[in-house]
Chains A and B, each alone.
Chain A
Amino acid sequence: MDSIKLHYDISATDFTRAGAASGDVKRTLKELGVAPSTIRNVAVAMYEGEINMVIHAGGGVIDVEITEDAIKMVLADQGPGIENVELAMKEGFSTAPDNIRCLGFGAGMGLPNIKKYTDEFQLDTEVGVGTTLTLKVYMKP
């Protein structure tokens, strides 16, 4: 199988569209006949990443590459960056404001969920420059 490449622009603070990119990837993987557990892992990781971009970083871009043995996702933004990565990775830690929490976000479970549901997880961030998440979910038979 040739690799499939997908690209998404995630616009700032548009909550009504958040989830559209992950939904599209989910559909694509389903059509390819990928195992449901693999699809779920990708969907969770990508949705959380998408939401983080919208809430914390003013949008960004997502590139997805589907190959025979893995789904690779690169989520890049030029937001404020993360000051303390160790803290941000803790379950329950969130800097989301109240208006965001009212929508059901800001549980501080996003980054931990992403790590839990991916096989490879790399977080590169620099304050004032931006954040890039490079993720891989392996194809399971």
Chain B
Amino acid sequence: MIPYIIPSEGTNDLGHDSDLSLRGNGSQPVVRVKNLNVFAGEHHILKNINLEIPRNKITVLLGPSGCGKTTLLKCMNKLTDLYKELKVSGSIYIDDDDILNAQGYIPEIRQRMGLLSQRPFPLPMSIFRNVSYGIKLKGISDKKLIAHNVEKYLREVGLWEEVKDRLNQPATSLSIGQQQRLCLARGLAVKPHIILADEPTSALDPISSKIIENLFKELKKNYTIILVTHVLRQAVRLADNVVFMYYGEIIEQGPPERLFNEPATEKLKEYIYEGN
């Protein structure tokens, strides 16, 4: 578990996790997927996936609908557990812990990743408690520290000014765009160093999308971001690393300049052509 730093007298800011650098060295991949296979009955959803996600970069997962992008993301924080019909095998190393085969401390490994889904799913509680939820799960009970962090992360996603007078209202009273930023804030509040984002802007208007995109550009200084998107332009704008999937397989991966300008496979060529 990444420890919370209790602010000493006088300092009121927790700073950003300087302790993250303690995890492995800077060039080592943060997520390593080894021989991942997912079946739903006879249906082979992910076929022997091997993948390394570089630190503090935005890795974009591309691919036609149904190719298994969401499933891959769900494997990374083992949410596949919720779907009993899915049979998952292989390993996924988050830092150095294999989440798929870890026993007992899966919630702690999950807290190293913030999840942003296609539609915002605010928890059925107030705005404040949506953000404090994960903090409390980390065992923090100091009211001041919690309030301080709630404000900090709401500010980080640019939501504080909009909600500071209505923190006790239900989160569902926010607009969809605001809800999505709230979901990002509550994810950041557990101090992950990876962000898993599954088409986070697909339900948003262009302005809200822009806000999220800009946040991601800002966040990648401190976080490793894995982003699923169908918007090619968004991929071009954000990606440092692109992974192209097709029917459960990784067909191509590499820097965006190469993949978008000179795709090696017909399938990617077709996908880019259709996308434009």
Chain A complexes with chain B: no
